[in-house]
């Protein structure tokens, strides 16, 4: 996996949540709408890895809603 792409996705997710702190979306939604890929869209695996790394750092959390998993900022 290209480390630069993962870091790019992480930073895009951080920026999106900084501008819209109440946002939550699925992996697909985040991949399509939160990250403005330079050129063609990358594999959703890049976004998944970025989300998992951000979760490890405590910056996002997955929440199950029905049969969907939404990612959002952790609620306190």
Residue 42 has pLDDT above 90, yes or no: no
Average the pLDDT over 12-27 and give the result. 98
Asked if pLDDT for residue 41 goes beyond 90, the answer is no
Q: Rounded to whole angstroms, what are the CA distances from 37 to 4, 29, 47, 49?
A: 12, 13, 11, 16
Q: Which domains does the chain have, with CATH numbers?
A: 3-72 (1.10.10.10)
State whether residue 27 is helix, strand or coil: helix
Banded model confidence at residue 14, pLDDT cuts 50, 70, 90: very high
**Mean pLDDT computed over 39-43:** 82
Task: Give per-residue pLDDT as tens, 21-37.
Answer: 999 999 999 999 999 99
Tell me the C-alpha distance between 47 and 25, whole Å: 12
Q: What is the pTM of this model?
A: 0.93
Q: For the chain, give the number of residues.
A: 76
Interior angle at CA 60, CA 3 and CA 54, nearest 5: 20
């Amino acid at each position: 996996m290209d480390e630069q792409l993962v870091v790019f996705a992480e930073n895009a997710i951080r920026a999106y949540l900084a501008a819209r702190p109440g946002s939550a979306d699925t992996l697909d939604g985040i991949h399509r709408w939160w990250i403005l890929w330079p050129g063609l869209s990358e594999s959703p695996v890049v976004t998944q890895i970025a989300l998992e790394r951000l979760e490890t750092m405590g910056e996002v959390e997955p929440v199950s809603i029905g049969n969907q998993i939404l990612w959002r900022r952790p609620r306190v």
